[in-house]
Amino acid sequence: SQQGEEDPQALSIQEGENATMNCSYKTSINNLQWYRQNSGRGLVHLILIRSNEREKHSGRLRVTLDTSKKSSSLLITASRAADTASYFCATDSDSNYQLIWGAGTKLIIKP
């Protein structure tokens, strides 16, 4: 079963705009990760945020985590065509190694 739910399921924006995707989860976590998947490169790790962190940046990516609401958001600024992909959040489980995944947000960047 999947723990996370991404929102929206699909998002289509113009190149240069910002894209925001959200992830909600059900149980307490130690950390949350975001991954990107496209047909050319498979699943690629983007960023990890620990449960005691509220915000993290990596290049054009900004991730926030609100443990009280059991939610996270991924912001991609100044989007590019190459950002077209599906984005997944994954949370660790009690076992501390098993990742539990959402269904993903499909992002399309229009040139």
- Quote the least distance from Cβ 12 to another protein, whole Å: 16
Specify the stretch interacting with another protein by CB under 8 A; choose among 13-21, 44-52, 55-63, 76-84. 44-52
71-76 sheet: strands from edge to edge: 5-7, 19-24, 71-76, 61-66, 55-58
Q: Please, which of residues 48-67 interact with another protein by CB under 8 A?
A: 48, 50
108 in contact with another protein (CB under 8 A): no
**27 versus 30: smaller Cβ distance to another protein:** 30
Please tell me whether residue 34 adopts helix, strand or coil conformation. Answer: strand
Residues 86 and 10: beta-carbon distance below 8 Å: no
| Count of beta carbons in the 10 Å neighbourhood of residue 25 | 21
CA angle 93, 72, 60 (to 5 degrees): 120
Measured between its terminal Cα atoms, the distance across the chain in Å is 36
104 in contact with another protein (CB under 8 A): yes
**34 versus 76: smaller Cβ distance to another protein:** 34
**78 versus 82: smaller Cβ distance to another protein:** 82
**Residues binding another protein (CB under 8 A):** 2, 4, 30-31, 33, 35, 41-45, 48, 50, 88, 90, 92, 95-104
